[in-house]
Chain A
Amino acid sequence: MARIQGVDIPPNKRVEISLTYIYGIGFKTALDVCNEAGIDPAIKARDLSDDEVSRLSSIIESNCVVEGQLRRVIQQNIGRLKDIACYRGLRHRRGLPVRGQNTRNNSRTRKGPKRLVAKKKK
């Protein structure tokens, strides 16, 4: 079991896949990291030697913003939008879709579960 960047322990998968379990690393970045480390992306993560793990780890650390740090960056960007009160910031504040989607129906991901309104009695 390998620990890269703190919490992540990618298990019996190919290195290229198990690296994507790190927040901020997708398939493309995982392949790039493997290439730079000179590691065959097709071998399983458990077969990595300690040396290889530390190599991957250091490459990720120097080239990518991942995990907590990335989450913080994203929150900061959203915070900035809210702060300057531009349209996107207002949408974030209200919990509505930010990129111009329709809100007549759906948009449940942003709006959360339905809030039913009591039907008026005749």
Chain B
Amino acid sequence: MGRSLKKGPYVDLKLLKKVQKQTESGSSEPIKTWARACTIIPDFINSTFLVHNGKDFKKVTVTENMVGHKLGEFSVTRKPALHGSHKK
């Protein structure tokens, strides 16, 4: 089920503040974050995040197409299942 329109998209406030501070100062250092549930809004375009996947931080550079998705969608939490000998 979708989220009620009345509430608007869920955006992590602390993260939003950080992004705004960065766009003001013009730096493009990746922002480390655990806020996987945070919706990507147009303000985030061109900023880089390090999104936690439970183990590591995955680098996500936001492009225009990503708006409306959540940050977590770009940081895979599962290890692919490999069978047999996949070494070498």
In the complex, what distance in Å separates the CA atom of A19 from the CA atom of B17?
Answer: 53
| B69 interface contact, C-beta 8 A | yes
Give the total number of A-B pairs whose CB atoms are below 8 A apart: 20
Q: Are A84 and B66 in contact (CB under 8 A)?
A: yes
| A9 interface contact, C-beta 8 A | no
A85, A86, A90, A117: most-surrounded residue (chain B CB, <10 A)? A86
Q: How many residues of A contact B (CB 8 A)?
A: 9
Q: Are A84 and B76 in contact (CB under 8 A)?
A: no
- Across the interface, name the chain A residue whose C-beta is closest to B72: A87
In the complex, what distance in Å separates the CA atom of A86 from the CA atom of B74?
Answer: 5
Interface SS of chain A: helix
- List residues 30-69 of chain A with CB under 8 A from any CB of chain B: none
- List residues 76-121 of chain A with CB under 8 A from any CB of chain B: 80, 83-88, 90, 117
Shortest Cβ distance from residue B59 to the other chain A in the assembled complex, whole angstroms:
11
Q: Are A85 and B74 in contact (CB under 8 A)?
A: yes
| B4 interface contact, C-beta 8 A | no
Q: Are B65 and A84 in contact (CB under 8 A)?
A: yes
Q: Are B73 and A88 in contact (CB under 8 A)?
A: yes
- Across the interface, name the chain B residue whose C-beta is closest to A88: B73
B contact set with A: CB distance below 8 Å: 63, 65-66, 69, 72-74, 76, 83-84
Taking A84-B65, A84-B66, A86-B74 as known contacts, 12 extra A-B pairs with beta carbons closer than 8 A to each other, sorted by chain A number, are A84-B63, A84-B74, A85-B74, A86-B66, A86-B69, A87-B72, A87-B73, A87-B74, A87-B76, A88-B73, A90-B76, A117-B84
